[in-house]
Structure 1
Amino acid sequence: MNHPDKHFIVTGAASGIGRAVALRLVAEGGTVTAMDTDGAGLGDLCREAGGAAAVEPVVGDVAEEGDVFGCVERAEQRFGRLDGIVCNAGIMKRMAVEDLSYEDWHRVLDVNLSQSFLFARHGAAGLRKSGGAMVLVASTRAFMSEADTESYSATKGGLVALAHSLAVSLSPKVRVNAVAPGWIDVSGETLRPVDHEQHLVGRVGVPEDVAHAASFLLDGEKAGFITGQTLVVDGGMTRKMIYAH
């Protein structure tokens, strides 16, 4: 096991990548405080992970400082330590820039980007005590874009920069890295052969691909010399030049 007796906070844990990360950390001997706005989804996660001994569910909004503070406090009170934080929760509002309201722009920034600042602010003391780590879930949208994704892309680029900034500020006790997933099938959508073919590994990603990467970066022995970096997990998609014929 990679994480025996270690405790982690994972946000956006009720579904998709966050759920896969939480389950991976539990499978590797850790415990998880799982935060999400979806209480029912957190309940399903707890049952799949083996119950309350492994997962502490926290219903809350990562964009609200009081909820973030409460999550960190609950994790430390329940498990007595904090070894890692995975800031995964995220939203997208895909619309033309002319139609994107300033309120919607700020909501995406608050959820996707500001949560990592808030968890660093309130979790730094616990992470310093344990010599822990943070993983910020960015995206390949930090480096490339589709139309009408300005708010989302801006936040993911911001997470890449925030990861190396926090790595400097919280050193030497705390490591901070980012993962940048590419196309990850989080909903079981129907995929075409061409969808898989545009990846060098021959397939679209699954949440477990990101979970393994996050687990590795949280491991103070295996990844103890890695900080301030962004690990791209995209099956090589951003390295393949595609021309229309």
Structure 2
Amino acid sequence: MEFLTMPEFKDKVVVVTGAAQGIGLVTALSFLNNGAYVAAVDVDREAIEDAMQDFFKGYEDKIEFFECDLQDASQIERVCRKIGEKYKSIDVLVNNAGVGSTKWILDRTVEEWDYVINVNLRAPYLMVKYLLPFMKEGSCIVNIASTRALMSEPNTEPYSASKGGILALTHSLAVSLSHLKIRVNAISPGWIEVSEYKKRKYRKLPDLREIDHLQHPAGRGGKPEDVANAVLFLASEKSGFITGTNLVVDGGMTIKMIYEE
């Protein structure tokens, strides 16, 4: 993996949700690689143990996992308090954790809708709410949305709605927190191949066809470090004049006009 080199993150404190797998795991690595401390939040104990053994070895003094079910508001409050008490000051919050639901609307229960909305949209709001007392001037928040906030596949209503909500939450928080000089931005990843960064029983090498790469205007599929590097940039001083925006990291797919022939 090739990460941006940003010495400014040395000894900074970064909170990453969903950090045991996928984009969250690689994002945590990108900050550790730049000398930061990472408070990693995840609900999957098996994934946490695998990640610590397989990806975070050598960083044990810089990363600590906090188990939390992000659909449970009381757990979020408790974990945020623990993180704040341990680190005293939070420099970056990356709201990455997310779940999906692909089901025909007549078959999807209200409980399934609520689960996706609670994890994907309510949890980021609550993470900000409960960590805000520990954030200071110059702190940054990066919310991971999705290109599904802008376009959809069939039967993904709760996921698309939650990610659209993340974009609105992002610009709303950017305005609300501006007097504290806290910037808030979003990233919308497209197709990012994370097969190599799952817990062991699901981990595999990517199996992408040439067409999978060539259909992207950028000429290749997405990698988790593409998103992680975008997070580093938006959390850095180099993006100090950027707030309330959504950075699309999708190899150009959402700008591509597609006609069926």
Alignment check: 8 A CA contact 1:26 1:32 kept: yes
* 1:198–1:240 contact (8 Å) kept in structure 2: no
Equivalent position of 2:243 in the other structure: 227
Question: Are residues 1:102 and 2:110 paired?
Answer: yes
SS in 2 for 1:29: coil
SS of the residue corresponding to residue 184 of structure 1 reads coil
In the other structure, the counterpart of 2:232 is: 215
Tell me which residue corresponds to 2:210.
193
Deviation at 1:67, TM superposition (A): 1.8
* Runs of 5+ unmatched residues, structure 2: 1-6, 196-204
User: Aligned equivalents of 1:64 and 1:106: distance in 2?
Assistant: 11
2:55 matched to 1:38? no
Shift of 1:189: 4.1
> What is the percentage of aligned positions where both structures have the same residue?
45
Residue 27 (str. 1) matches residue 33 (str. 2): yes
Deviations for 1:93-143, whole angstroms, at most 9, x for unmatched residues? 10111111111001000001001110111111212x253111110000011
Matched letter for residue 171 of structure 1? S
Give the residue type in structure 1 aligned to 2:229.
H
Q: Secondary structure at the match of 1:2?
A: helix
How many pairs are equivalent? 243
Output the TM-score relative to the length of structure 2: 0.89
Spell out the pairing of 1:5-20 with structure 2 (5 A cutoff). Answer: 5-20=11-26
Q: By how many angstroms is 1:88 displaced?
A: 0.7
Residue correspondence of structure 1 range 129-144 to structure 2 within 5 A: 129-144=136-151
Match of 2:95 among 82, 87, 94: 87
Residue 247 of structure 2 aligns with an amino acid whose one-letter code is L
Q: How far 1:74 moved relative to its partner?
A: 2.1
Residue in 2 that maps onto 1:70: 78
CA distance in structure 2 between the partners assigned to 1:186 and 1:156 by the alignment: 19
Q: Which amino acid aligns with 1:225?
A: F
RMSD: 1.4
Using the TM superposition, give the Cα deviation of residue 80 of structure 1 relative to its aligned residue in structure 2, in angstroms.
Answer: 2.5
Q: Which amino acid aligns with 1:134?
A: I
